[in-house]
Structure 1
């Protein structure tokens, strides 16, 4: 009996019952103890004891008597443990896995884009796919042809210490003056702009990048140099393409305080477009364009000269960005939404 008392005291919360605990349950039931009293001695929940009694109860004497047996409870426990493990649907859903690997390597889709697009276009049913989180788990387990090193964002993200910068002037309207409706992304025509450079050589070209906040339509415009005149000349070319619809397509532009945008406010004298400037060293206030600039680095690494890429290559990168299904767009592409908005504007004008 002392041995039984010693074993019961060794039981820890959350731990499975041992065979010694089951022998103790059998002994205490013969003594007429209640499940609550037995549970208190073992150090577990009363329901644990009740469930164990149901699991280990056997019929004796042709079914006339029901009695709990520790050996029967232990046998039932060991049978249940044989099927208690993590199950993977990898082999059952190999067609979907092949689809994911194809889209990832050939078209550069993210794992979530593969899942969302497959459901949206009814390429697979819900029970034929696994979720995005499971796909990442498969990568960690080495079950996919995709490795963590292939994921452009997973290995590059690291916490950064916050630095406080002061004494940089704002070139025009402050971002807090921007209408609150712009933050909702429900109205078309609000843009963010930035400049992407390749090498630090001033003789290299640069890319003026712009993104429409609602549709996430993303443009990459090659400009010669990094000066205000190059930026304004590029926007003048865009202005000539939209002409009378400019004010409907470009209602606001938000950018940073780089010297290349020092004359951007001149647009307000030429059209109804309002230009807003983010706070110094606060790139998160135009996070959409910053996020998409990160996509460019998959194709144009930092330090690589922009002028070493042809116009066709730049256009191909832009086409890929705007043809990528997005979860936040209901797995539609930016091009699809942007064209729909332009059709609406042109139809209203006629």
Structure 2
């Protein structure tokens, strides 16, 4: 039985380094440590040492891996350790700023004493402290939980109750009023390229508009929909 998730210890990293040098598969290492294979794979990938000057020194070294992990945790704790910075970030969130905008502003603000990565802000928002303060409600796009950068896009989005489809006015439900549109998006396999098709259907007349897009990103699509409407 695997143990509940906790951060890898220096001793565990020492074992990983020794077994990797012995060419032991990651699946076997995970079994020996009582960890999931994904935990071991992620650990090795994140803390693999790359030396530009001495490529022969590349590898997974347990002391270096521990130092890198400690450095990342220290960055995540920056908002917990610095009350002034935390208050400024929360104020900006309340004003409608996104974490990307806040981090970008701190980088160019003259005399700013601290800088933050937007991922650090997201991690704080979805931490236990951030959840208790309901900071996720302040994000432009809110999710039940935060997944790391480059992870798969979460499918379960959280929408405010007032915008739920179940609360739409009766004239929209019974299609008695002109001017209410439904939108949908058809995205194809990656092998087919970035092209996708958006549909707009007017509920009363069923008048339909089909839009071809050549970009899978949300902003170009939204700009196209705004332009067409």
Q: When the two structures are superposed, what TM-score results if normalisation uses the length of structure 1?
A: 0.26
Q: TM-score, normalised by structure 2?
A: 0.36
Q: Please identify the structure whose Cα radius of gyration is greater.
A: 1
Q: 1 or 2 for the larger relative contact order (CA 8 Å, sep ≥6)?
A: 1
